[in-house]
Amino acid sequence: MPDADPARATAREAIALLTGATGFTEHRPPPRPLPPDGPLGWSGYDAARERASARTGEEESVVYGTGVVGDRACVLLSFEFGFLGGSLGRNTGDRLVAAYGLALTRRLPLVALVATGGSRMQEGMVALTQLQRVAAASTRLRAAGLPQIAVVRDPTTGGGWATVGAGADVVLALPGAQVGFAGSRVRPPDADPYAYSAEGQFAAGQVDAVVPADELAATVTQWLRALGPHEDLPAAPVPRALPTAGAEPTAGASTGSAAGAGTEAASGTGSAAGTGSAAGGGAVAPLPGTGREAVARARDPRRPRAEAYLADYFAVRLPLHGDRSGATDPGLLCGLGLRADEQPVAYVAQCGTPTRPAGYRAAARTIRLADRLGVPVLTLVDTPGAANDAEAERAGAGAAIADTFAAIAAARVPVTTLVMGEGGSGGALALAAPENTHVTVDSYFSVIAPELAAAILKRPPSETGATADQLRLRPQDLVELGFALSIVG
């Protein structure tokens, strides 16, 4: 790579950034000559194409073929912005459709390195309709269970962003790239430029990660390992329990290997009232004696949260960021990860805060992606409930929760759930796997928070504890009621 800005690299330089100098075999579709000056007879179009070809050494604005990124074979397509602004014409469409078709035929993932100004105006509607062809080719690849990764470079605007870029399963961006549907010459003069940047699109939940050029090859390699394609992957193992910071050892408590605890939890063969081992064979906490104690322990700020569980569970994590509708929820973590044995698992993890509509939409997006690619899912439940403020209602809380329920219900891949904190009503249940939910000793699950239940029943605050007992929300209650398969640690 030359010393120039990688976001403005040529098509072949962008490919080499991922594959190295010898890791790419170019393909070309059968030639299909255009009429003189293109389908519209646009005066000077042929001359403009000739100048673009002489300047870049390319015949069109897209180069595609097969390559190896890290240790993963894939189909790569790369836009040459120096060729008429990377615009899409009929011959560009031929190349893009051929690239998707090559990935489909060879059952390989597709990696698109995008830098385009959109449709080529010199070809009019013939150019614009290439977006429909590209969308159809992408849909065929998606239906075949093959992943698509887009790396958006500078600039990525117009129809190229709205199809090849934003339509990918995972969207990565190079720092400082201009990214947006509206190009710089057609957006409102007072528009905030940050909204059209890689960083702004990340903040709005439209880009999964902004990746420096020197980290791009390693990042794409990890994504290819996680996304597959895969066949017949086993269910995600139940995470081992993590101890609460400062917890005192319990006299007579059994200890053992973390792997053994996970096996017992996954099989459901352990005693309903028994517990597995804590992480690293540490102290095992006793089960809560009352409903009030169960709630207090789940709300203990020293209790390990989702971040700790994910760090313990995965060797590599690859976040999926945002709901693709303009919002994010920092209280819900989504993505794919690789365990120490390289098994990929998709994860959706609540972080102990009220989950917002954007979080549920991101969760549904992650679950459906995993289901399409055959990747098992792990959900970590920990929320006092869905966000219930006016902003959440305006953002479609009900519809977002409903969509998450539907994503779990429709999943063909196995979904494993660990409740490791608060299980607050439907906002938590939306992420719970029917018939494969497990609970930790410092968790609870309830149809409603005991304080709210007491208030609805017009009971004094002094009866909140008794109400919690009536709700039967303790871990052992959840197993006895048939909601949970086992208690972990």
Query: In angstroms, rounded to a whole number, what is the distance separating the alpha carbons of residues 134 and 88?
Result: 10
What amino acid occupies position 84? Answer: L
Using CA atoms in the order 320, 321, 326, 331, what is the torsion angle rounded to 10 degrees? 120
The contacts of residue 64 (CB under 8 Å, 6+ apart) are: 26, 27, 75, 76, 77, 78, 95, 96, 98, 99, 102
β-strand partners of 379: 348, 417
Sequence-distant (6+) residues with CB within 8 A of 197 are: 176, 177, 178, 179
pTM score of the predicted model: 0.90
Amino acid identity at 196: Y
Tens-level pLDDT at each residue, the chain (489 residues): 444 577 689 999 999 999 987 689 999 999 899 999 999 999 999 999 999 999 999 999 999 999 999 999 999 999 999 999 999 999 999 999 999 999 999 999 999 999 999 999 999 999 999 999 999 999 999 999 999 999 999 999 999 999 999 999 999 999 999 999 988 888 888 889 999 999 999 999 999 999 999 999 999 999 999 999 998 999 999 999 999 876 554 433 333 333 333 333 333 333 333 343 444 444 567 999 999 999 999 999 999 999 999 999 999 999 999 999 999 999 999 999 999 999 999 999 999 999 999 999 999 999 999 999 999 999 999 999 999 999 999 999 999 999 999 999 999 999 999 999 999 999 999 999 999 999 999 999 999 999 999 999 999 999 999 999 999 999 999 999 999 999 997
26: nearest Cα among 1, 54, 59, 55: 59
What angle separates helix 11-19 from helix 213-227, to the nearest 10 degrees? 60
Nearest to 149 by CA among 201, 207, 91: 207
Rounded Cα–Cα distance for residues 92 and 471 (Å): 62
Burial of 271 (C-beta count, 10 Å sphere; 0-12/13-18/19+): exposed
